[in-house]
């Protein structure tokens, strides 16, 4: 089992800077950049229980903040976030979901931003 890549916000924003203007999903990634570049105290924090309520099975989700381990998840979703709390990886993988790197998520279609 692969460990979650522990990249900081600076590396995350540097990857978002590489998205070409007018390219595939460029408006979406500009929005994600705007949300993720806020100070830590203003960034979103989403519990797994909320992801379970709002996401569909197999959906690609970007959280421009932190995914918290509160609650449970029953859907196999693909998630990318700046940070993850302890236990999130096991819960998502237990529901047949995946934690993707930002680069992997940028290649996907049908991405949804939660936050």
Pick the range with the lowest mean pLDDT from 15-24, 43-52, 65-74, 82-91. 15-24
Question: Would residue 44 count as lying in a domain?
Answer: yes
CATH number (domain holding residue 47): 3.100.10.10
Query: pTM of the prediction?
Result: 0.87
Residue 58 Cα to chain centre, angstroms: 14
The total of structural domains in the chain comes to: 1
95 contacts 66 by C-beta, under 8 angstroms: no
pLDDT tens, residue by residue, 8-40 = 788 888 888 888 777 777 899 999 999 999 998
Question: Would residue 27 count as lying in a domain?
Answer: yes
Q: Would you tell me the crossing angle of helices 26-36 and 9-17 to the nearest 10 degrees?
A: 150
Question: Would residue 4 count as lying in a domain?
Answer: no
Q: Which residue range forms the structural domain that includes residue 32?
A: 9-113
62 contacts 105 by C-beta, under 8 angstroms: yes
Query: 29 — phi, psi (to 5°)?
Result: -70, -30
């Amino acid at each position: 089992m692969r460990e979650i890549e522990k990249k900081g916000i600076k590396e995350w924003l540097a990857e978002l800077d590489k998205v070409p203007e007018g390219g595939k999903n460029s408006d979406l990634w500009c929005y994600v950049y705007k949300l993720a570049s806020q100070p830590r105290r203003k960034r979103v924090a989403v519990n797994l229980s909320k992801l379970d309520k709002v996401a569909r099975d197999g959906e690609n989700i970007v959280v421009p903040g932190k995914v918290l381990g509160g609650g449970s998840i029953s859907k196999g979703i693909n998630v990318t976030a700046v940070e993850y709390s302890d236990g999130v990886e096991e819960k998502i993988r237990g529901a047949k979901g995946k934690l993707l790197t930002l680069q992997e998520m940028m290649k996907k279609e049908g991405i949804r931003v939660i936050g």
